Amino acid sequence: MLRTQLYSDPHGLFLHDLVLDSCRRNAPKTALVDASCGRRLTYAEYAETVESLARGLIASRVKPGDVVVIFLANSWEFCTAFHAIQLAGAIPTLLNPTYREREVRYQLENSGAVVLITDGGNIEGINLAGIPNLRRVYTTRQHASNTEPFANLLSAVTALYPKPDQSPEQVLAALPYSSGTTGLPKGVMLSHYNLIANVYQLLGPNATTLNSADHILCCLPLYHIYGLNVVLNPSLILGATLILVPRFTVQMMTKLITDEAVTMMPLVPPAMNALCQAAEAGQFPRDHRVRWVKSGAAPLAPELARRFTALTNILVCQGYGMTEASPVTHCGYLEPALYHPDSIGHPLAATDCRVLSQPEIDPGDTPDDLTEAPSGQPGELVMRGPQIMLGYWKEPQATAAVLRDGWYWSGDIVTRDREGFYRVVDRRKEMIKYKGFAVAPAEVEAVLLEHPAVKECGVVGRSDETAGEIPVAFVALRDGFVENQKLGDELCGFVADRLTHYKQPREVHFVDAVPKTASGKILRRELRKSML
């Protein structure tokens, strides 16, 4: 085991304190470059903004344990709000800025949020009336009716920061929402200890090569745990410089790589593929300083990693994780003797893993009851470590289903070779991965079933060279409705009005009946077979 140590001891620490300590140590250095508006914040300015925002939140009656929603694209406002909410003793929960009203209201209501920090354009056309606990809405750059300016939170006020009455192991630092295989997304309860432990695992000996001299270019959305705790928090804790873009575009990325002397980029496979195409067209800078990219959130094809390095001369380090693990559990290496970009690498320090061979596992079984798969043979990956979540928000049954005796059951099928390198080969879970974003078929199906023409439906992923997978719907119609292209387009539009873009079916196939088991579960493998 090459990874046995963390960067430092994560016990007894709060994330916002670590960030503010780094700000004091690195005061004159550039902490953040916001490419969406050109603003640059030094570490001293970052700390001053976080502390002012925290005082503003406290003055607006935000109490310890309250939930505050950040509904923003990548920006300096997102970052400072995230750490200010923690300093105020509250819990930040994060919303995808492309979400539709249905998705926004669900997360606001489920989390019990008292304050929403957003931008006017994000809530245009969204009805926020009647949400039980929501008291105030602040908008950043574009104003909206019935909201207050974000700048009000930065007004000079006096307020005492609350002292936590629980340890960092119990206090929630973030409540991101993860799409489950059934029903609606669930809040993932991540403590300060969870997040800091994972950062210290990533920064520890023989893990990643991130350092304080890095200029990190981030197009990953910060509302996603990959951007949040693999990029934002490690960058600020180290004293590196983070360059934020609101979304991936080849033109902006290639320009900033040169302008900001970028040394590292976290990416997802579709973005790597787009940069490969740019390099083939002569649009990728040859005089760059990028040493390596981190690939995650979706499976990386070995040929794509090889092609990317051949075209750009940049090494690729693949990792693996999930929101429930803060998120990283495995990561590859850049050293020549250990360089296997087709693999997710070895587990991080303090992460125990087992690969269980049983095809059918009883919900009452623990890893100690089961047999591990032989080297090279597939099995379900189960893990435990300091980065594993406390559980799902208000979902004790869902928590018990995946957390058993401290072990997290990933639902992913992997192999482990004789050198201890892991490779993901399949998913027991039914999730669709569109450009690294997880799509729960059940959520899309629930919307389709609201359409008067739909009797039953099933949603599966189809392989796509650009996106990884795209959602495809199979629909059986009610009596009186006739299948045709117009109705298929109408169903796609119906979902588009209610769910964000990456959850929307790209195709609709009409069927007489959706195949099911005797107990009524959709046979998704049969639907996938029909597309071959």
Tell me how many helices (H) and strands (E) the chain has.
Answer: 14, 28
**Chain centre to alpha carbon of residue 90:** 21
Statement: residue 121 has pLDDT above 80: yes
390 lies in which domain range? 15-350+385-394
Report pLDDT digits (tens) over 44-88: 999 999 999 999 999 999 999 999 999 999 999 999 999 999 999
| Rounded-to-integer distance, Cα 280 and Cα 314, Å | 15
pLDDT, average across residues 103-119: 97
Out of 394, 412, 447, a domain closes at 394
Distance CA(365)–CA(404), nearest Å, equals 8
Look up the CATH number of the domain holding residue 251.
3.40.50.12780
Residue 511, domain member (yes or no): yes
Count of C-beta atoms within a 10 Å radius of residue 365: 14
CA atoms of 231 and 216, how far apart (whole Å): 8
Residue range 292-309, pLDDT digits in tens: 999 988 778 888 899 999
Q: What is the CATH number for 440?
A: 3.30.300.30
More confident residue, 242 or 435: 242
The answer to whether 514 and 472 have CB atoms below 8 angstroms apart is no
**Which DSSP category does 61 fall into?**
T
102 and 228 co-located in one domain: yes
Report the pLDDT value the prediction gives residue 447, as an integer from 0 to 100: 87
Q: Alpha-carbon distance 40 to 20, whole Å?
A: 17
Q: Which two tokens stand for residue 10?
A: 């994560």
Identify whether residues 255 and 359 lie together within a single domain.
no
First and final CA of the chain: distance in angstroms? Answer: 41
Asked if the model's pLDDT at residue 136 lies above 70, the reply is yes
In a shared domain, residues 281 and 345: yes
Using DSSP's 3-state secondary structure scheme, residue 387 falls into coil
Answer yes or no: do 425 and 443 share one domain.
no
Q: What is the pLDDT of residue 518?
A: 58
Evaluate if residue 472 carries a pLDDT over 80: yes
Residue 5 domain flag: no
103-107, 463-467, 479-483, 502-506 — most confident range: 103-107
Annotate 398-449 with DSSP letters as a single string. HHHHHEETTEEEEEEEEEE-TT--EEEEEESS--EEETTEEE-HHHHHHHHT
Q: What are residue 366's phi and psi, to 5 degrees? A: -115, 165
The better pLDDT of the pair 157, 215 is held by: 215
| The pLDDT value given to residue 78 | 98
**Do residues 365 and 490 both lie within one domain?**
no
Q: Are residues 182 and 215 in the same domain?
A: yes
Q: For the chain, what is the domain count?
A: 3
Residue 171 lies in a domain: yes
Q: Are 400 and 390 in the same domain?
A: no
Q: Could you tell me if residue 4 is inside a domain? A: no
Which residues make beta-bridge pairs with 459? 473
Cβ proximity of 420 and 454 under 8 Å: no
The whole-angstrom separation of Cα 176 and Cα 437 is 14
Q: For 340-365, how does the pLDDT look when each residue is reduced to its tens digit (9 = 90+)?
A: 999 999 999 999 999 998 655 666 66
Token duo for residue 395: 């979902």
Query: How far lies 61's CA from each of 87, 90, 174, in Å?
Result: 14, 11, 19
CB 172 within 8 Å of CB 189: yes
Pick from 347, 18, 10: nearest CA to 206 = 347
**Residue 213 to residues 17, 42, 210, 235, 261: CA-CA distances in angstroms?**
21, 14, 8, 10, 11
417/440 same-domain check:
no
State which amino acid sits at residue 102.
R
